[in-house]
Structure 1
Amino acid sequence: MNRLSTSAGCSKECWVLHRQNSENKPEEGTGLKLKHKVTLAFLVFIVLPFIVVGWISSYVAVNTIKEEVGSTTLQLVKQNHVTIDKTISAINDRTITLLDSQFFRNPAGYSFWTGIDTLNEIQQADNILESWSTGGTEYAIYMKNIERRDTPFDLSHKTKGFKYLDKDNSGLPDAMVRDMDLSGGGVLRITHSDSGEKTISFMRSILNPRNYDEAIGLLVVNKVEVLLTRDMVSVELPSTAGVFLFNDNEELLMSAGLGSPSLAELHQNIEPEASYGYTFAEEGGEEWLYAYSDSSKFHTRLLYKIPLASITGKQIWLQKMLVFISVVFLAFVLTFVLYLVRLVVKPVVKLVSVMKIYEPGKTLFLSEEPPRHDEFGILYGSFVKMTKRLDYSIEENYVMQLKQKEYELLMLQSQITPHYLYNTLDSIYWYALDSGNDEVGEMVRDLSSMLRIGLSRGRKMITIGEELEHAKAYTRLQEKRYPDTFEVWWQIDETLRDYETPKVIIQPLIENAIIHGVRGMDGEGEIRISAVQCEDTLRFIVEDNGHLPVDLEELSAIMQGEHSAKGYGIRNVHQRIQLHYGEAFGLTYERSGEGGTRAIITLPLRRPE
């Protein structure tokens, strides 16, 4: 205590001067102030996670809404396409019925349509086709002039009713000429009248009833759009959306709403091999939903193009409003946190200033201000008590350091003693060899090996090779002690020598086998020592052919510590193994096949760390 009292003997004036200097001197390595740290922590651990979670939630919500809107719109497209297919199917069925009644089931009808050449026959043909024209559609039959009939007037100007085609199919639109090669199937095409008016035509080839490989004419139903328009506008969509119907040639048959997608846009936003689906694409700074469905029956594609904002506008507005409210709330919370920080910073700064000038072992002169009764007052009082305890601990630590140095000196002396012992035994060994007493020299060498491995410089774990060397040294000494009494056989797996084992666990088993098994057998005793691998475990086996019966239950009780007065060696081995590796491993005994005893040590197979 004298040393501490002397070092702490500064006056009160010196302490005040030191405190003033420390307050006036700029601090080196000072970090952020407390309020800045709290603000930064608030931003990092509250605001930032809130923003990240909010952004992720918003992103997931928007994608979920988009997927739901896309799926719902796709179902709407499919239903609308089914309605359109029904309308086209009705036209297809009427054309089949017309051809069947006029050409295939009526030979006279076939002769009539292929032999028209008078005005009366032309009027009769026009009346028949007029009777089939319903709902605003117009039926027309274009026949090849196979028999080179002459009509009383030119029919090329007609857009409905009956007309002949010249040999070069003049007067027939290109789309119709291409469809003359079809084998009777109906298709939708865009055609134009002489006045340039665009119309949708459903057309099918008229096959020769006498030769189905020959097309003799073309049945055309014009103005199909008057029927399809009703189906196209039956679905209520946003005013900025568009509905488009394409044929198999990617011609835009008709549309409803705004806009008209180009072929490049169509190929970019629609999977060519998919028969239906939906995608989202950016166009003109706005995101659009493309939902489409294909019909394999008439090879048409129905496409909806809808601006996504027109569907999800309210949801997005609501999300933005929630984000704004959250930002306002976080700003309010941050203001309140800063107020609390300011409320507590002043007493904390006072405590920090005292902690800075405090040096362990020196007397601390504190002001006479009455302590506060809140948490900071308790903290300040606890700090004062801590300084007093710390001063006392320093004195105790000084004494403990002296004792530790003395202990280290004793440890050093204890390490030197075995070294001198090994040197002495080595000297005895060479002296015995020089004196011609080789047997005594070998015994001294084995004893030295046993002591060296047994001590192992304080190590608890050694290699199997070292453990076997220790056991062999012991058996050689016992063979000299009990000459011509027993033989020792070794069966060792050499690949196991580098694995680890607790030290000195085989020697106690060999000692028991000698004393309690083969010591009195007059040269007939045998001890077999094995080290083998069994899957992922290691086994040491010490087996003797002793003639004395062994009580296995008593051995088990000894290893469990029930008979503490005897069996210390095997109990120590068993408990040390379980201490290292657990209860699944240890020492067990059983009777051998020759009537003796077999001791088995089971260890996990591990290499030294």
Structure 2
Amino acid sequence: MAFALFIIGPFLIVGWVSAYKTERSMQEELGRTMLQLAKQNHATIAKSMSAVNDKTITFLGNHLFNRTEFNTFWSNVETLGQMKRADEILERWSSDGTQYSLYMINKEDKRTLVDLSGKESGFKYIEDDASKMPAWSERALQKRGAGVFRLIASPAGVTSISFVRSVLNAQNYNDVLGFLVVSNLEVYLTRDLLNIQLPERSGIFLFNDVNELLMQAGSDELPEDSLSALANPEGSSYHFAGEGGERWLYALSYEPEYHTRLVYRVPLQSVSGGSKEFQWVIMALSAVYLVLVLLFVLYLLRIVVRPLHRLVAITKIYEPGVPLDAAHGRELLRSDEFGILYGAFLKMTRRLDRSFEENYLMKIEQKETELATLHSQITPHLLYNTLDSIYWYAVGKGNRDVGGMVKDLSRLLRIGLSKGKTMIPIGEEIEHASAYCRLQMKRYPDKFEVLYDIDEEAKKYATPKVILQPLIENAIFHAVSGMDGEGEIRIRIRCTDAEIEMAVEDNGFLPVDIGRLERITRGELADKGYGIRNVHQRVQLHFGEAFGLSYAPREGGGVIAKINLPRREYKNTH
């Protein structure tokens, strides 16, 4: 029951959801593919439309306008000879199967010898009255010289796709002289519309900007409800619709230059094929497979559950440190997976027993280590007390110099050890450096002086302990110890926006190789400069590679050793 509830049920649900999602995904992919196909087909049609538009522009430039001057011949056609000449010009442009017609607005009330109302192409006059102009002229007037595609019926009642362009006066664009109409464009556009092979019962429909169906291809008609749904959108998209108990795919491509829309209507079953039937076959095979798996699981339960219960019983009676009786679980010592599992369980109990014994021994060793630690803490405390006694003895005997040196030595040791801490406040680091300087000034009397330039705010921030002393030691031994009172060491600590800058500079007169000092700091000369390399590595260990020790020459002679640290307030964890 658990297998059916938690394995078979979810498997069937997941399979059904996966099949549904796969079908939806496949439909969306079909929609995107069909939309891309419609866009490509529409682009081909748009190129043909642009070719018609360009040709009409060429016609106007060649025959109606000479630069910006209007050819008055077209507004003064009255005689049969003039009419024949005008028709011949238009006929020459109709050589590709289309028909060119020029409708001039009769503003000067010209009278021809023949009736032009029955002419299907060529030159015509139309009355200068908006109510008497053809219905298709209204949209052409709104376009102000741009072309539109329309369905226009000839006097004989034959409707064709036509391109209409209003002819504007080049001197006054508000003055419309007439209309140039190119008819029978279906012979020109049909090859573009039919160059795509679509499945059976599919339809292709081309609409203009006023929702007139210019052309269509295919056997099925577009339903009225679908026509109204496709009439308004400006933009390319696709969607699915159910019509007559069948699913249809609509792909709509919009072309903004002439505001035309190309619609593909394809029965979904014809493009998706038998994928749904294949999915049902897969589901049926999966159900059969699950039944076989269920039978196999029942078989496994018979050979697995009983030895599993036995292994659990042995696990319950085991206690760490108490050897397991070898008689328990003897029937589990076999070559299958349970035999391997039981063998691993026995090895685990042996390791656990050893760990139990080792843990007991480690606790004893830990107690001994704690006693040794307490003893090591007593030794520095005894040393501090002894140095303190020597200090007061020297002061009592009147030898304050010795007493001061002992006190400075005690401070050096106390801050240097710092109860095992690696980080101390900068204030304590300054005390440590000051004590060391006083001791060295006793050793080298009247050789140098030490100047301090300390930002008080910096004393509360943290620093690795004993990083100034090695720099001061180098400055004394290598620069100012032999300068006969002219030596000067300056200890400077400043706070910036995000960092602490420490500097130890001397006025030594001997030339210094700054590049060599930098290589020693980076560890490239491993046998030299242990102290400064140690300072640099400890700073980077605590704060990262962006910080550390660097050297620079001092103006006027000497060296400046710089340490940059981040501004981190010291937190006493002891």
TM > 0.5 between the two?
Answer: yes
Output the amino acid matched with 2:33: E
Q: Provide closer, same or farther for how the CA distance between residues 574 and 228 of structure 1 changes in structure 2, counting only shifts above 3 A.
A: closer
Report the equivalent of 1:455: 417
Q: Which has the larger radius of gyration?
A: 1
Report the equivalent of 2:435: 473
Give how far 1:251 is off.
Answer: 3.0
CA distance in 2, matches of 1:173, 1:52: 59
Contact 1:145–1:165 (8 Å) recurs in 2:
no
Give how far 1:476 is off.
Answer: 2.1
Output the amino acid matched with 1:79: T
Deviates more, 1:342-351 or 1:469-478: 342-351
Give how far 1:528 is off.
Answer: 1.1
Q: Provide closer, same or farther for how the CA distance between residues 73 and 315 of structure 1 changes in structure 2, counting only shifts above 3 A.
A: farther
Output the amino acid matched with 1:357: I
Q: Provide closer, same or farther for how the CA distance between residues 493 and 247 of structure 1 changes in structure 2, counting only shifts above 3 A.
A: same
CA distance in 1, matches of 2:147, 2:75: 17
Contact 1:489–1:528 (8 Å) recurs in 2:
yes
1:443-468 residue CA offsets vs partner (Å, 9 max, x unmatched)? 45433322321111101233443222
Deviates more, 1:468-477 or 1:390-399: 390-399
User: Which of 355, 372, 386 is the aligned partner of 2:315?
Assistant: 355
Q: Provide closer, same or farther for how the CA distance between residues 412 and 160 of structure 1 changes in structure 2, counting only shifts above 3 A.
A: same
Give how far 1:190 is off.
Answer: 5.0
Give how far 1:258 is off.
Answer: 1.4
Report the equivalent of 1:281: 239
CA distance in 2, matches of 1:492, 1:372: 79
CA distance in 2, matches of 1:309, 1:207: 47
Report the equivalent of 2:324: 364
Output the amino acid matched with 1:578: Q
User: Which of 265, 277, 282 is the aligned partner of 1:306?
Assistant: 265
Output the amino acid matched with 1:468: I
Q: Provide closer, same or farther for how the CA distance between residues 470 and 198 of structure 1 changes in structure 2, counting only shifts above 3 A.
A: same
3-state DSSP class of the match of 1:408?
helix
Deviates more, 1:58-67 or 1:580-589: 580-589
Q: Provide closer, same or farther for how the CA distance between residues 347 and 497 of structure 1 changes in structure 2, counting only shifts above 3 A.
A: farther
Give how far 1:266 is off.
Answer: 3.2
Output the amino acid matched with 1:479: M
CA distance in 1, matches of 2:501, 2:278: 67
Output the amino acid matched with 1:67: R
CA distance in 1, matches of 2:81, 2:512: 121
Q: Any unmatched runs of 5+ in structure 1? A: 1-32, 114-124, 272-277, 564-569
Report the equivalent of 1:507: 469
Verify: 1:74 aligned to 2:39, yes or no.
yes
1:426-485 residue CA offsets vs partner (Å, 9 max, x unmatched)? 677678879987656644543332232111110123344322211211222343455445
Contact 1:581–1:603 (8 Å) recurs in 2:
no
Contact 1:464–1:498 (8 Å) recurs in 2:
yes
1:181-234 residue CA offsets vs partner (Å, 9 max, x unmatched)? 999998655568999x7845759799999x999889989899987997888667
Give how far 1:64 is off.
Answer: 4.7
CA distance in 2, matches of 1:601, 1:219: 87
Give how far 1:500 is off.
Answer: 4.6
Contact 2:539–2:565 (8 Å) recurs in 1:
no
Verify: 1:395 aligned to 2:357, yes or no.
yes
Output the amino acid matched with 2:434: K
Q: Provide closer, same or farther for how the CA distance between residues 427 and 207 of structure 1 changes in structure 2, counting only shifts above 3 A.
A: closer
CA distance in 2, matches of 1:442, 1:233: 109
Verify: 1:242 aligned to 2:203, yes or no.
yes
User: Which of 399, 404, 407 is the aligned partner of 2:369?
Assistant: 407
CA distance in 2, matches of 1:110, 1:395: 128
Output the amino acid matched with 1:465: G
Report the equivalent of 1:3: none
User: Which of 462, 480, 504 is the aligned partner of 1:541?
Assistant: 504
Give how far 1:352 is off.
Answer: 3.3
User: Which of 278, 290, 296 is the aligned partner of 2:251?
Assistant: 290
Give how far 1:590 is off.
Answer: 11
Matches within 5 A, 1:126-137: none
1:37-81 residue CA offsets vs partner (Å, 9 max, x unmatched)? 9x87x999x999999999988777655544333222322234356
Q: Provide closer, same or farther for how the CA distance between residues 574 and 248 of structure 1 changes in structure 2, counting only shifts above 3 A.
A: closer
Give how far 1:503 is off.
Answer: 2.6
CA distance in 2, matches of 1:492, 1:579: 22
CA distance in 2, matches of 1:62, 1:249: 31
Report the equivalent of 1:571: 530
Q: How many pairs does the alignment contain? A: 536
CA distance in 1, matches of 2:272, 2:425: 76
Report the equivalent of 2:67: none
Output the amino acid matched with 1:394: F
Matches within 5 A, 1:415-564: 415=377, 418-419=380-381, 442-480=404-442, 483-492=445-454, 497=459, 500-507=462-469, 510=472, 524=485, 526-531=487-492, 540-541=503-504, 543=506, 545=508
Q: Tell me the TM-score normalised to structure 1 length.
A: 0.60
Contact 2:488–2:507 (8 Å) recurs in 1:
yes
3-state DSSP class of the match of 2:79?
helix
1:543-581 residue CA offsets vs partner (Å, 9 max, x unmatched)? 47599999x999979996759xxxxxx635634653663
CA distance in 2, matches of 1:519, 1:160: 118
Give how far 1:354 is off.
Answer: 1.9
Give how far 1:386 is off.
Answer: 3.6
Report the equivalent of 1:258: 221
Matches within 5 A, 1:28-177: 63-80=28-45, 107-109=78-80, 174-175=135-136
Contact 1:201–1:220 (8 Å) recurs in 2:
no
1:251-299 residue CA offsets vs partner (Å, 9 max, x unmatched)? 334544411567752355432xxxxxx4112434846333436495xx5
How well do the aligned residues superpose, as a CA RMSD in angstroms? 6.7
Identical pairs, percent = 33
Q: Provide closer, same or farther for how the CA distance between residues 420 and 253 of structure 1 changes in structure 2, counting only shifts above 3 A.
A: same
